[in-house]
Structure 1
């Protein structure tokens, strides 16, 4: 039950918006187009099995792992705030 200025279903609307944002972010990161035969970062041959498994692949496994580690985990948005921040 929402009170004050928040309408009914406001919490669910926030949850839906967060999920939609995460889906859009994930889809924007998917590769597209034809796969490359050679890694655009280091020039190593990308195995045919990887090119078939990941359409539009542009990096070899080693370079992709390095990129993923560099990006780190995506925390997303906590629109409600953490419990610790509410206690301060």
Structure 2
């Protein structure tokens, strides 16, 4: 029975592959030909869906253009505080 337990342990290479796979992010680009076509709104809707699936979501920068519906979608999402850089 002890040998059976040893056989189910992952190999070091399998563990490393799992760690490397988990650490890679994914970039999604929301493309639109003009202002006001819904890029930001669609992105925020997708963020809420992914967050409900357990994905860690943070907003790096958001411009809502004063649209109330878009601003509502920002609620509940974590934000990265921008750094002030003098140049």
- The TM-score normalised by the length of structure 2 is 0.32
Whichever structure has more strand as a proportion of its residues is 2
- The TM-score normalised by the length of structure 1 is 0.32
